Amino acid sequence: MLGGFLGTAVFAAVGLFVGGEEMFIILALAGQYAGHLFVLWLLNRSRPPGTLGFEVQGRDSAYLFAGLGLQLALSILFLPLVQILFPDGGPAQEIGSVLSGLESGAARLGSLLVSVVLAPITEELAFRGVLIKALGERSKRTLIVVSALVFSLFHLLGLASSNFGGAALIVLPQLFFVGVALAWVTVRSGRLGPAIFMHSGFNLLAAIVLLLPPELLEGG
């Protein structure tokens, strides 16, 4: 967490000099994940490679489609609840509001790369790498449930403050299901590659929807 805060501060400061509000937002977001990764590297630099299970193979790319399907299924399942709690169509997470407001092509591309590359790698290293290793030799069920619970609760930090309770009812169950799926493929394979691609696919569909021009979502 400290690494994330420091990374955000450093990258945001660079964004101030580069200029532009949108560049400031993207660099601050990227800095958060860069800070997390830097701390994880510091803590594990003296350990053997692959200690946290960071191994990616070519066949893992198939899990990208599993993540896309999971996002689509959960979106459809929770759509009635979203329409009740957010009748104005606003996103349940603050980051959604930020990304949907980006206008320049460079900022949109940057946000997409952060969402589908930096975020999945960082969060999988933390929640399915560090956390599962820290839980030790406990049962597979315990590893899956605990890591999924911590993963979903961590995202309380980014919920929409204007309707926090409603956002929690929508986001937390979905992220718990996602966390279970990500932990299951990690425990099953013994490495992080499948979970990284599944997480990337899950984020990809949500990011594309948020970044589409409003007129397209409204049918032109």
User: Are 75 and 40 members of one domain?
Assistant: no
For residue 128, the model assigns a pLDDT of 95
Whether residue 36 sits in one domain with residue 74: no
Whether 80 maps to a domain, the answer reads yes
CA-nearest of 143, 159, 142 to 195 is: 143
Please tell me whether residues 69 and 160 are part of one structural domain.
Answer: yes
pLDDT score at 92: 77
Q: Are residues 19 and 127 in the same domain?
A: no
Give φ, ψ of 4 to 5 degrees: -65, -40
Range of the domain at 142: 56-217
Per-residue model confidence as pLDDT tens digits over 176-192: 999 999 999 999 999 99
Instruction: Judge if pTM exceeds 0.75.
Output: yes
Q: Please report the pLDDT score of residue 217 as a whole number.
A: 44
Domain shared by 38 and 97, yes or no: no
Same domain, 72 and 122: yes
Q: In this structure, are 111 and 211 located in the same domain?
A: yes
Of 9, 24, 46, the last residue of a domain is: 46
Measured distance CA(6)–CA(2) in Å, rounded: 6
- Decide if 51 is inside a domain: no
Dihedral angle of Cα 63, 151, 80, 161, to the nearest 10 degrees: -130
The predicted pLDDT at position 216 comes to: 45
**Same domain, yes or no, for 74 and 161?**
yes
* Shared domain check, 174 and 115: yes
Instruction: Tell me the two tokens of residue 208.
Output: 């594309």
Q: Tokens 């206008």 belong to which residue?
A: 103
Cβ–Cβ under 8 Å, residues 160 and 90: yes
Per-residue HEC secondary structure of the chain comes to: CHHHHHHHHHHHHHHHHHCCHHHHHHHHHHHHHHHHHHHHHHHHCCCCCCCCCCCCCHHHHHHHHHHHHHHHHHHHHHHHHHHHHCCCCCCCEHHHHHHHCCCCHHHHHHHHHHHHHHHHHHHHHHHHHHHHHHHCCCCHHHHHHHHHHHHHHHHHHHECHHHHHHHHHHHHHHHHHHHHHHHHHHHHHCCCHHHHHHHHHHHHHHHHHHHCCHHHHCCC
In this structure, the answer to whether residues 90 and 41 fall within a common structural domain is: no
Residue pLDDT tens, the chain, 220 long: 889 999 999 998 887 787 678 888 888 889 999 999 999 999 888 888 778 889 999 999 999 999 999 999 999 999 999 999 888 877 778 777 777 777 777 888 888 899 999 999 999 999 999 999 999 889 999 999 999 999 999 988 888 778 889 889 999 999 999 999 999 999 999 999 999 999 999 999 888 876 665 544 455 4
